[in-house]
Structure 1
């Protein structure tokens, strides 16, 4: 009996060494530069949460209930609201990150417009320079490119750079907001001519076929999709491995956050996959 207690004590000591109660093992394989930064993820997810605030005065002055903690002191430059399509985003400057931060709101549960955009799975030809046979999700692509959102974002970034200089840009969003953030990051890198663009999304659905996924990560390599084991959204629209060019396909690099239960201990584990974007060992 005494030996069993010593063994249990050794296991607890080892787990305490590799992690804390908030974070556990960090498992990486075949990950090249850039590397996932968990601290940055905890900051950006607060911005992805704050953009859901409906009181625009509180949001613009950064005094809302979610405008504190790791995002304290953020200065909003532009809030973009598309009433007709029920879309919302903001552009601002985070002094501690030395970066322009752009956040997109995800699906509003009561918004018919948002659900139409989510379910408009018809593939649209993607004819950006250098992309062959690319196809994208019609609803998500239009939500960013064919509404007032895109012009508002570009105006906000331009104003922020005029005031604060040539800062790096971080783009984030949750769910449908993550899909729009991905298109925004590509837009800023490829069309707007920005450099040092980073995209980190949370619970993002698939937004294009395999050809688009390959193209995307080659243009915006500093991209991470954070998912967790109980979220079905990253599995939509469906992907059929035998027809990768004809269906929807995630791009790398996925960070899968899940809980590892060891008796009375629960550790949060991050597994980072960047082989194909559809690694069966990750959240799929």
Structure 2
């Protein structure tokens, strides 16, 4: 038998229980909100759409193979939002099929460093597919110096650290500061160029103690494991990885969620471009993802099965104009004003560019 007690007692008892429930609910929500705020990744950079549309043009321009047009910034992709860019140094590592430039964007008040991806072009999809298939089997195979348990992709690491690209970049950054002062540094690139951009940004922070380094990449593959991603996000928090719809490359090398410490892992923050809607009511969304680097609601929520989505971002083509199998176009001016080493690698510096422009405009004799 249950003794109910007086009605007024039962009413007070219900109010008391309700008050306890409300307090517990409020406390629970408060704890959740605090945890969510802590996970709001305030240390990570905010996404800037306008900056992304500018940097994607730099990431496109670095694919140009006509070196004279590129180092004089007169190429077909060297206008629009990047007009007036002052090239400090153009680097071409012919031996490893790599290309990069360093210059100053006065409208951004920043040094811009751009890296070319692989020699991608629609007419040679087989070569892209071969590269992509190779990424499926890539294992973490090198320890990143000074970072316990951090492992990275040997090929991407070596492309930046073990070629003529790195010393040329560091030298050009110092020269840019001599000309323009201590500017911010923005590093960008597409595909493999994005992977190199990430290593470059980290290198500038760790080894040159550069301040105000920002990295924004497009269609970048994974480059290291979770330990590396954690170190990277702490050291270069001002980083954005833009991914596009079903682009296959950001899904590679594969991420195995059941082996979080042993698998490749993206660093944050991702911004995922994708279309929503049906029929004619379709529009593009730019989703700013969480701070995990592997947000299941962003590009990981779809199948990464599109090469076409890899080659165009914001309507800008990120590929070579034509297929030349790592070829470059050099006219007599490029040969005359560039510095070439014994392996055929080429550097075009600001001084030689200015000298060429002066002599060309005055019609004087070229040395």
TM-score range, shorter chain: 0.7 to 0.9
1:228 counterpart = 2:238: no
Tell me by how many angstroms 1:247 deviates.
1.2
Give the length in aligned residue pairs. Answer: 254
- C-alpha offsets along residues 11-58 of structure 1, whole Å, 9 cap, x if unaligned? xxxxxxxxxxxxxxxxxx935252100000000000000000001110
Describe the SS at the equivalent of 1:227: strand
1:92-111 to structure 2, matched below 5 A, reads: 92-109=103-120
Q: Is the 8 A contact 2:93 2:164 kept in 1?
A: yes
1:75 aligned to 69, 86, 96, which one?
86
Q: Is the 8 A contact 2:242 2:271 kept in 1?
A: yes
Describe the SS at the equivalent of 1:194: coil
**2:158 corresponds to:** 142
Tell me by how many angstroms 1:265 deviates.
2.2
Tell me by how many angstroms 1:272 deviates.
1.0
Describe the SS at the equivalent of 1:213: helix
TM-score (norm 1): 0.85
Distance (Å, rounded) in 2 between the aligned partners of 1:86 and 1:270: 32
Tell me by how many angstroms 1:132 deviates.
1.7
Structure 2 gap segments, 5+ residues each: 1-38, 301-367
Q: Bigger relative contact order, structure 1 or 2, given CA contacts below 8 A and separation 6+? A: 2
1:174 counterpart = 2:174: no
**1:85 corresponds to:** 96
1:30 counterpart = 2:40: yes
Distance (Å, rounded) in 2 between the aligned partners of 1:31 and 1:59: 38
**1:215 corresponds to:** 231
1:1-284 to structure 2, matched below 5 A, reads: 30=40, 32=42, 33-109=44-120, 115=131, 119=135, 121-129=138-146, 131-284=147-300
TM-score (norm 2): 0.66
Higher strand share: 1
Distance (Å, rounded) in 2 between the aligned partners of 1:85 and 1:199: 23
Distance (Å, rounded) in 2 between the aligned partners of 1:127 and 1:185: 14
Tell me by how many angstroms 1:122 deviates.
3.5
**1:9 corresponds to:** none
Distance (Å, rounded) in 2 between the aligned partners of 1:232 and 1:202: 12
Q: Is the 8 A contact 2:144 2:152 kept in 1?
A: no
Structure 1 gap segments, 5+ residues each: 1-28
Distance (Å, rounded) in 2 between the aligned partners of 1:203 and 1:95: 26
Q: Is the 8 A contact 1:205 1:233 kept in 2?
A: yes
